Amino acid sequence: MNHLSSNDRDRRLEQIVAYLDGELSPAEALQVEHQLAEDDLFRQEVAGIERAWSALDILPNATVDDRFAQTTMELVVGAAREDVLEKTRALPVMRRRNLLGKLLILATAMALGVLLVLLYIFAMQLTTVAATNAGFDPMAAVWLPNGVFLLVGVWIYRTAPK
């Protein structure tokens, strides 16, 4: 039996159980009986299963009354109630964390916005000084920061989640 695959072992066990239960067709039962006569390992396996079933037959039949079902349901309902209470208790904490996360994202976005505005103002001042004192072309001085920040704005617009 060691050389059989798991699938073959399952099919073999299924065949043995069906044989012991008398559920096989006459041809299938004859095939099992032929294998029992020829294969010692198969015969030992069938005998082991028969012994296990006999041992189960010796055990007393357990009977349960309505109280068993009632107590089982009480345990299940109690566990479900505890689960709901635990999740209900955790809900305010989860909401608070969610709100704090959103506020942190908002504050970060606002800080980045203010930083961009300050950078724009700095760039405008820098190009104005360059145009006034260093001979930089005044038209380029006005439009250079606008062009750069136009590209930054388009990039932010395209990459921002919608």
Split at pLDDT 50, 70, 90, the class of 68 is confident
**pLDDT over 70 at 4, yes or no:** yes
82-95: pLDDT as tens digits: 999 998 998 898 99
49-65: pLDDT as tens digits: 888 888 887 888 878 78
As a whole number, mean pLDDT of residues 1-24 equals 83
Q: pTM value?
A: 0.45
- CA distance linking residue 49 with residue 139, whole number of Å: 97
As a whole number, mean pLDDT of residues 128-155 equals 92
**pLDDT over 80 at 123, yes or no:** yes
Where are the alpha helices (H) located in the chain, listed in sequence order?
6-21, 26-38, 40-58, 66-133, 138-159
CB of 15 within 8 A of CB of 32? yes
pLDDT score at 7 = 85
- CA distance linking residue 51 with residue 58, whole number of Å: 11
- Bigger pLDDT: 62 vs 76: 76
| Cβ within 8 Å of residue 50, ≥6 positions away | 20
Split at pLDDT 50, 70, 90, the class of 98 is very high
pLDDT score at 1 = 45
- Bigger pLDDT: 56 vs 26: 26
SS3 61: coil
